[in-house]
Structure 1
Amino acid sequence: MADTFSSLIDAFKNVGVSKAYGSPIQLGGEEVIPVALVSFGFGGGGEAGQDGASGGGGGGMVLPLGVYRNIGGQVAFRPNTVVALVCLVPVITAVGAAVRKAIRAAKA
């Protein structure tokens, strides 16, 4: 199990800002830098018994947040509207539930 964990550490040693910001790309006469939210996690465990059973797993996600655009020296962020809307769904749901509870409390 220790060897597996060490190999995971080596594989993900350089994960960080370099994975959240892509390499600059020339697109339509302007330079763009892709930006993403990168998240991952791993876990593992073992049983202290005669069988010595162990296991592990992991997962991750990448959300493309948008791009930085460089047009003639002016840099601006252009968000990915689809991801922004998807990320707003939990916020809108929570606000709706809070408003519904406030209205019910006001009626009582």
Structure 2
Amino acid sequence: MADTFASLIEAFKNMGVSKAYGAPVQVGGEEVIPVALVSFGFGGGGEAGPDGASGGGGGGMVLPLGVYRNVGGQVSFRPNTVMALFCLVPVISVVGAAVRKAIRAAKA
């Protein structure tokens, strides 16, 4: 079990900014750097009983947010439109709920 935990620690040391920003790539005469939202987690547990049951699990996700473009020294960010719309869904839902409550309160 200790070897497994040590290997998990080593694997997660490599996660972070290096996984959120990809290696620069030359595309059509311009340099692009892919950008992503990287999230991961894991957990485990055990029971101090006669059978000593234990378990664990983990998971992660990567959402491609867009790319940084470097054209002639000018750097700009170009978002992934589909992912931007996907990320706005919770914001729009909360604003819609707040407006609905405000209208109901104004009518009362």
Q: Distance in 2 between matches of 1:95 and 1:60?
A: 28
Which amino acid in the other structure matches residue 38 of structure 1? Answer: V
The residue number in structure 2 matching 1:4 is 4
Gaps of 5+ in 1: none
Q: How many residues align?
A: 108
Q: TM (normalized to structure 2)? A: 0.96
Post-superposition Cα deviations, 1:8-34, rounded to whole Å, max 9, x if no partner, equal 111221111100000000001100000
Instruction: Find the residue that maps to 2:13 and give its secondary structure.
Output: coil
Tell me the residue number matched to 1:106.
106
With the length of structure 1 as denominator, give the TM-score of the two structures: 0.96
Kindly provide the CA deviation profile for residues 31-51 of structure 1, in whole angstroms up to 9, marking residues without a partner as x.
Answer: 000000100000000000111
Poorly superposed stretches of 4+, deviation over 6 Å: none
The amino acid of 1:32's aligned partner reads V
The one-letter code matched in structure 2 to 1:71 is V
SS at match of 1:12: helix
Show structure 2 runs of 5+ residues with no match. none
User: Are 2:76 and 1:70 aligned?
Assistant: no
